[in-house]
Amino acid sequence: MNCKKYINLLFSGTSNYIKYATVTILSALENLQENVGINVYFLYADIIEPIDEDVKNAWIEQVLYTFRDKNVNFNFIDVSDKMHLVENLNIGMWGREISLTHYIYLLAPLIIKNVDKIIYLDCDMIVNYGLSEVFDNDMGDNLIALAKQHGFELDEEDFNSGFSVINLKQWIKEDTLTDIIKFGEQLPKSDFCDQYLLNEYFGKTHSNRIMLFDKKYNLFPITYPELNLSEIKILHYAGPNIKPWYDLDCNYRGSFLWWQYARETVFYESFIADYIMHHRLCIEDWMSKDYNEKIGDCYNRINDCHNRINDCQNIMNVCLNRISGCEKWLSKCFETVDKHYKKSIEYIFLFRPFEILVKMLIIVKLKIFEQL
Ligand SMILES: [Mn+2]
């Protein structure tokens, strides 16, 4: 149980995310060299809904049991009493509570005093390589190391906040947290909460204080089919609708890896129960509230088709009008031609009867000769 070396991992969220973090931790551990251990810091604040102390303690006990004979030390820290520090930061479309949970990990320098450096990971990640490689990087006095967004919907020039190495020692020395919070309170609204804050603060005003990781350190596997899964160092299931725990059929590329690790934790049955509950709720949602919405949606689409058909009819009418316009114009042309023709015949008969007579005689003569 005693390793020469330990790396520090930071996770955060509401306490029910402990279950998901367990899967990420297991993936990180199984890819580490044997003599490297992990110190986990899980910071939580149950600000969305209260979670029963007994339930929470049961989760913690199960995590400890999962890793009982592994080189992992756990620190579960309730930071609810520090959440007022971030309450004036940007609130996204998720609403106040969910938005604020995005900032929990930034409180680490206030709480974790005895470590120099820590790797922050989202709870929707699978680590696919030995993390000590990034942990051993000398950060100098850089404040943070980040990877750019790859395969996500946002601008690929932005950083993704799901994975970072935070130079805690430097943050504490410079009181970076106070500075970031002050900076963040002045920012306009964005749904990307902490990620927007990191991009504005580190990407724009402190770009000389960051280190950059290769895209393979934080990648959404579906959008990079050319990369072999084993080449992706951290698989990140970012976004609300593609979580592997909602993908029991493993349709999303790499989901099976998540389930493979999930199966090794004590939460496996709980994940399946959550999956069933989630889909039942989706179906119920569809049957009740969403049903009317969907009918409305169909109605709108039908209306849309009607409008398009109307548009086509209007275009056809315009064409028909043009065609009938052409017809009128053509018949006028014919009339004019007719008139001129008649006129020219009349003219010939009226004014040049002798010539006509001679021509007719010639034709008759020729015909007679033909007969002979
Ligand atoms: Mn994420």
Best CATH choice for the domain 5-266 from the list 3.10.20.600, 3.10.310.30, 3.90.550.10, 3.50.50.60: 3.90.550.10
Domain residues of the chain, as ranges?
Answer: 5-266, 298-367
Expressed in angstroms and rounded, the spacing between residue 123 Cα and the centre of ligand 1 is 7
DSSP conformational letter for 224: -
DSSP conformational letter for 160: E
Distances (CA, A) of 152 to 156, 220, 240: 8, 7, 12
Structure tokens at 263: 């199966």
User: Phi and psi dihedrals of 43, rounded to 5?
Assistant: -95, 130
Expressed in angstroms and rounded, the spacing between residue 163 Cα and the centre of ligand 1 is 9
- Higher per-residue pLDDT: 152 or 262: 262
- The answer on pLDDT for 363 being more than 80 is yes
State pLDDT tens for residues 190-246.
888 999 999 999 988 999 999 999 889 998 888 888 899 999 999 999 877 789 999
- Higher per-residue pLDDT: 358 or 141: 141
Expressed in angstroms and rounded, the spacing between residue 146 Cα and the centre of ligand 1 is 14
Expressed in angstroms and rounded, the spacing between residue 98 Cα and the centre of ligand 1 is 13
Q: At 322, is the pLDDT very low, low, confident or very high (cuts 50, 70, 90)?
A: confident
Q: At 325, is the pLDDT very low, low, confident or very high (cuts 50, 70, 90)?
A: confident
Q: If you average pLDDT over each of 60-64, 220-224, 358-362, which comes out highest?
A: 60-64
pLDDT at 1: 59
Burial tier of 103 (Cβ tally within 10 Å: 0-12, 13-18, 19+): buried
Expressed in angstroms and rounded, the spacing between residue 161 Cα and the centre of ligand 1 is 8
State pLDDT tens for residues 151-174.
665 566 789 999 999 999 999 999
State pLDDT tens for residues 267-306.
999 999 988 888 877 777 666 666 667 777 777 777 777 7
3-state secondary structure of 311: helix
* Cβ < 5 A residues, ion ligand 1: 122, 124, 162, 238
Expressed in angstroms and rounded, the spacing between residue 170 Cα and the centre of ligand 1 is 25
Expressed in angstroms and rounded, the spacing between residue 40 Cα and the centre of ligand 1 is 18
Burial tier of 272 (Cβ tally within 10 Å: 0-12, 13-18, 19+): middle
Average pLDDT of the residues in 42-58: 94
Residue 212, H or E segment = strand 210-213
Residue 210, H or E segment = strand 210-213
282-309 in b/e burial notation, b at 16+ Cβ within 10 A?
eeeeeeeeeeeeeeeeeeeeeeeeeeee
* Percent of the chain residues topping a pLDDT of 90: 54
Sheet holding 159-166, edge to edge: 72-78, 36-44, 5-13, 118-121, 159-166, 144-148, 210-213
pLDDT at 136: 93
